[in-house]
Amino acid sequence: MKLYIVIEEDRHGFFVAEVPSLPGCFSLGRTPEEALTGMHQVVEEWLQIMANYEPEHEQRIYSC
């Protein structure tokens, strides 16, 4: 699986790696390389969590 990863420097000098297609999937580092290295673990964990995720059924009430 290929993922698009964005790495940006924040205002405090840390680097943030993020996968836009995976909501909430990001990693921080003191260097871009450190942020990217952490991202591999984060993506793996994110995919494992989502594989087991079952959304709650929405209750809908309709007026007739």
More confident residue, 60 or 6: 6
Domain assignment of residue 60, yes or no: no
Count of domains in the chain?
Answer: 1
Going by pLDDT thresholds of 50, 70 and 90, the confidence category of residue 15 is: very high
Alpha-carbon distance 59 to 24, whole Å? 26
- The total of other beta-carbon atoms located within 10 Å of residue 25's CB is 19
pLDDT digits (tens, 9 = 90+) for 23-64: 989 999 999 999 999 998 999 999 999 888 776 666 677 776
Residues 6+ apart with CB under 8 A from 61: none
Structure confidence at residue 57 (pLDDT): 65
Domain assignment of residue 16, yes or no: yes
Structure confidence at residue 34 (pLDDT): 96
Domain assignment of residue 61, yes or no: no
Domain assignment of residue 38, yes or no: yes
Q: What is the pTM of this model?
A: 0.71
Structure confidence at residue 29 (pLDDT): 96
Residues 29/39, Cβ–Cβ less than 8 Å: no
Domain assignment of residue 47, yes or no: yes
Domain assignment of residue 14, yes or no: yes
Domain assignment of residue 39, yes or no: yes
Domain assignment of residue 42, yes or no: yes
The range of the structural domain enclosing residue 33 comes to: 6-51
